[in-house]
């Protein structure tokens, strides 16, 4: 039992803090765990702690939804979510949107009742009459809330195109206004797949290339959501098909990683550069080979993409396909004349990595 309690205590300690406690005995660790639990108030809010104990409390706050990679970096909870995680005793959804790219409006799992702003309630219900009456009464519906959201953002988020049109016409200067996460109404509409709101905003003159804090544009988000209609609309309204996010990833990289041929075609015909590389020197064809997306790979090859493209560590597309066991990809690349003698920075050839992985086909 003592061993179990001690192991539980160790699990709450992050890797970077482990050295602080490695010299403690199991009994000392158990006492620390008991003392920490006694210092919490009835609702789980830790009492004032020393810096050392605070480090333990923060150890379990950050959750990574998937393995980090050059195009899928490690995810970190923002400070506001850290506070929420402490208050509820569990990690909260991402305000930047690990699932949707936008903040969750209301968490139905919370035990506390949330008082909804009457403006938000009216917009959520699509009550145009109520919104119009509020404006007639002199209420200013262009004032942001604590998250930087204005009613126009709410209308775009909830897909209420009637309310959105009313608000846009009443406050035309707010069309490109950003939230604290630097999301515009156009970005929110795209993230949620609200095509009517998306088209209405574009027709009203919304700027299609305003990005969020991660430098992701509405077009990038459309590719992430595999929403071909949204991507087509944005390209028609001159969205930049070569815009890069903060990792150098373009919309084409994103579409290729999802093997979405329709969107890939829209982007390439809209001017996307097939040889654009991210911060690791990875092109779209490299992404297709690395992730086993054969249809996307064939499309890019037909467009003249470099079969022998290499990342910044000199790994070739063929090397990555061998490393990940994508036999059909390897066969296709070789049929297109891929050089099997290109070594990575460690001098390893595709043949070496294939043998190491036990790929004998």
Q: Is residue 155 part of a domain?
A: no
- Sign of the four-CA dihedral 260, 206, 96, 43: negative
Q: pLDDT confidence of 285, banded at 50, 70, 90?
A: very high
**Cβ–Cβ contacts within 10 Å for residue 256, how many?**
32
Average pLDDT value for residue range 316-320: 97
Kindly state whether residue 307 falls inside one of the protein's structural domains: yes
pLDDT band at 312 (very low <50, low <70, confident <90, very high): very high
**Residue 230 is assigned to a structural domain of this protein:** no
Q: Measured between alpha carbons, how far is 132 from 18 in angstroms, rounded to an integer?
A: 58
Which comes out higher in pLDDT, residue 166 or 101? 166
pTM reported for the whole predicted model: 0.70
What 3-state DSSP class applies to 316?
strand
Query: For position 90, what pLDDT does the model report?
Result: 37
Indicate whether 360 belongs to any domain.
yes
Q: Where does the pLDDT of residue 270 fall: very low under 50, low under 70, confident under 90, or very high at 90 and above?
A: very high
d(CA 197, CA 314): 45
For residue 86, what are the contacts with CB-CB under 8 A and spacing of at least 6? 45, 46, 57, 61
Res 263 pLDDT > 50: yes
| Whole-number percent of the chain with pLDDT over 90 | 65
* For residue 55, pLDDT beyond 90: no
Question: Is the pLDDT at 223 greater than 60, yes or no?
Answer: yes
Encode pLDDT of 170-208 as tens digits: 999 999 999 999 999 999 999 999 999 999 999 999 999
Task: State yes or no: pLDDT of 83 exceeds 60.
Answer: no
Domain count, the chain: 1
Distance CA 122, CA 128 (A): 7
Q: In degrees to the nearest 10, what's the CA dihedral of 35, 39, 45, 47?
A: -120
CA distance 178 to 59: 32
What's the whole-number mean pLDDT along residues 24-40? 60
pLDDT of 59 strictly over 60? no
- Is residue 283 predicted with pLDDT exceeding 80? yes
Which candidate, 181, 179, 175, places its Cα nearest to that of 208? 175
158/29: higher pLDDT: 158
Q: What angle do CA 289, 311, 226 make, to 5 degrees?
A: 45
Which structural domain, as residue segments, surrounds residue 334? 280-361
pLDDT of residue 31: 64
Is 287 inside a domain boundary?
yes
pLDDT tens for each residue of 141-157: 999 999 999 999 999 99
Assign 310 a pLDDT band (cuts: 50, 70, 90): very high
Would you say residue 24 lies in a domain? no
Range with top average pLDDT, 89-93, 266-270, 354-358: 266-270
Nearest one of 211, 215, 80, 62 to 146, comparing CA atoms: 80
**Lowest pLDDT segment from 45-54, 201-210, 250-259:** 45-54
**Which residue matches tokens 């990690």?**
91
Radius of gyration of the chain (CA): 25
Q: What is the mean pLDDT of residues 209-223?
A: 97
CATH number, residue 320 = 1.25.40.20
Classify residue 148: in a domain, yes or no: no
Asked if 322 and 357 touch (Cβ cutoff 8 Å), the reply is yes
In a domain, 297, yes or no: yes
């Amino acid at each position: 039992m003592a061993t179990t309690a001690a192991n539980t205590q160790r699990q709450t300690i992050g890797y970077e803090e482990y050295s602080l406690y490695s010299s403690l005995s199991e009994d000392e660790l158990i006492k620390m765990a008991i003392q920490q639990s006694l210092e919490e108030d009835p609702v789980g809010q830790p009492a004032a702690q020393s810096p050392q104990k605070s480090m333990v409390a923060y150890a379990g706050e950050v959750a990574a939804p998937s393995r980090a990679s050059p195009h899928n970096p490690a995810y970190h909870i923002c400070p506001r979510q850290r506070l929420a995680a402490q208050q509820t005793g569990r990690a909260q959804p991402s305000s930047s949107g690990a699932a949707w790219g936008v903040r969750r409006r209301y968490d139905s799992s919370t035990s506390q009742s949330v008082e909804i702003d009457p403006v938000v309630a009216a917009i959520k219900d699509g009550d145009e009459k109520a919104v119009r009456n509020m404006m007639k009464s002199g209420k200013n519906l262009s004032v942001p809330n604590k998250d930087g959201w204005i009613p126009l953002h709410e209308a775009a988020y909830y897909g209420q195109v009637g309310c959105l049109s009313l608000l846009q016409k009443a406050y035309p200067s707010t069309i490109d206004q950003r939230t604290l996460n630097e999301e515009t109404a156009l970005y929110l509409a795209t993230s949620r797949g609200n095509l009517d709101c998306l088209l209405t905003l574009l027709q009203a003159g919304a700027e299609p290339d305003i990005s969020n804090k991660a430098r992701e544009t509405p077009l990038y988000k459309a590719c992430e959501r595999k929403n071909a209609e949204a991507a087509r609309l944005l390209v028609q309204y001159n969205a930049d098909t070569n815009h890069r996010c903060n990792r150098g990833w373009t919309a084409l990289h994103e579409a290729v990683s999802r093997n979405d041929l329709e969107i890939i075609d829209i982007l390439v015909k809209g001017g996307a550069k097939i040889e654009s590389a991210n911060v690791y020197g990875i092109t779209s064809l490299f992404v297709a080979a690395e992730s086993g997306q054969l249809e996307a790979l064939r499309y890019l090859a037909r467009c003249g993409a470099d079969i022998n493209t290499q990342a910044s560590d000199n790994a070739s597309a063929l090397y990555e396909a061998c490393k990940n066991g994508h036999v059909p990809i390897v066969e296709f690349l070789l049929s297109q004349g891929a050089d099997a003698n290109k070594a990575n920075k460690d001098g390893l050839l595709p043949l070496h990595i294939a043998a190491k992985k036990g790929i004998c086909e």
